[in-house]
Amino acid sequence: MHAHFLDPYRPRISPIHALDPRIKFVLAVACILTAALMPLGAWAAYLLLFAVVLSVIILSELGVRYVLGRSALAFPFVLAALPLVLTAGPPLLAELPLGPWTLQVSQDGVVRFASIAVKSWISVQAAIVLSASTSFPDLLVAMRAVRVPRLLVAIFGLMWRYLFVLADEVLRLIRARAARSGESGEPGRRVGGSLAWRARVTGGMAGNLFLRALERGDRIYLAMAARGYDGEVRHFPLPPLAGRHWFTLAGGMALLAVLLVVSLLNG
């Protein structure tokens, strides 16, 4: 059992995959920022931004269904904004009787809630395209280019390298627990001990994992030291950006700026 399924990177041959990771990273963040800056209820502008993102998804060859399917993952959080519908105040759109209470659906609240949901959904799609079309080492290059501290980038790199090893370790721990615990075929029959007991077993697994990780970290350090590691993180210099990269970046930024202006004028 191996945990490569964790890696969301899907290699394809597409212009989006071929784009320099630095440009992609900056444009994805700019797209999310644009969505956040758009005023509430600017439906026309949301549609245009969605059209742009959808075009990028199609160009990326990732499959529209794949991206839209994954974007549904972010939906549970929308519940946090749902109360807006009922509390934003007059003018009221509808009144629903619910037992002893009356739910007052406010027009303002509906607009706000729908705007937040749509903006969030577009942002998630942009982030999915970024992570599915860029391998993690490329994302590290992008992070260095936007001046994330060097040590932090090095830690990210090491974390990614061992994430799969430790996820495998967790899967083994879970399988071992399942193997040791009896399971009843009788439906509804509880097996194992009390809640506290089950939590304690899981806690023991967490402690065990932590210990193994700590020891592995020490071994990795020794192996690195044996190969000349002296605490200094050395990277290859970033390759220079060609003219067409700058052109793509400027074009993308200009498009987003136009959409933002449209949304502000129409908001």
Partner 1 sequence: MLASPVPMHIPDGFLSVLVALFFWAATAIVVAYALKRVNTDLGERQVPLMGVLAACIFAGQMLNFNVAAGTSGHLVGAALATIMLGPWASILIMTCVIAVQGLIFQDGGLLAMGANIFNMGIVATAVAYATYRLVARLSGGRAGGMLAAAFLSAWASIVVTSLAVGLQLALSGTSPANLAIPAMGGVHLLIGIGEGLITVGAVSFLRATRRDMLEQGTAPVRGGRGILVAGLALALALAVVSPLASADPDGLEWFAEQQHFTNRQVQSPIKLIPDYRLPGIGSEAAATIASGVVGMLIVFGAAGATAYIRRNRKNLPAH
Restricted to residues 46-65, the positions that interact with partner 1 (CB under 8 A) are 47-48, 50-52, 54-55, 58-59, 61
Q: Does the protein bind partner 1 through residue 225 (CB under 8 A)?
A: yes
Minimum gap (Å) between residue 151 Cβ and partner 1: 6
Specify the residue, 54 or 105, whose C-beta has the smaller distance to partner 1. 54
Q: Does the protein bind partner 1 through residue 37 (CB under 8 A)?
A: yes
Question: Residue 88: CA atoms inside 13 Å, Cβ hemisphere, count?
Answer: 18
CA distance 36 to 30: 10
Restricted to residues 86-105, the positions that interact with partner 1 (CB under 8 A) are 87-88
Q: Which two tokens stand for residue 211?
A: 């210990």
Restricted to residues 108-147, the positions that interact with partner 1 (CB under 8 A) are 112, 116-117, 119-124, 127-128, 130-131, 136, 139
Restricted to residues 151-180, the positions that interact with partner 1 (CB under 8 A) are 151-152, 154-163, 165-167, 169-171, 173-174
Q: What is the largest CA-CA distance in the chain?
A: 74
- φ, ψ of residue 86 to 5 degrees: the values are -100, -10
CB 113 within 8 A of CB 82: yes
Say how many residues touch partner 1, by CB under 8 A. Answer: 110
Question: Residue 158: CA atoms inside 13 Å, Cβ hemisphere, count?
Answer: 12
Q: Does the protein bind partner 1 through residue 250 (CB under 8 A)?
A: no
Q: Is the dihedral of CA 158, 16, 44, 68 positive or negative?
A: negative
Q: Does the protein bind partner 1 through residue 66 (CB under 8 A)?
A: no
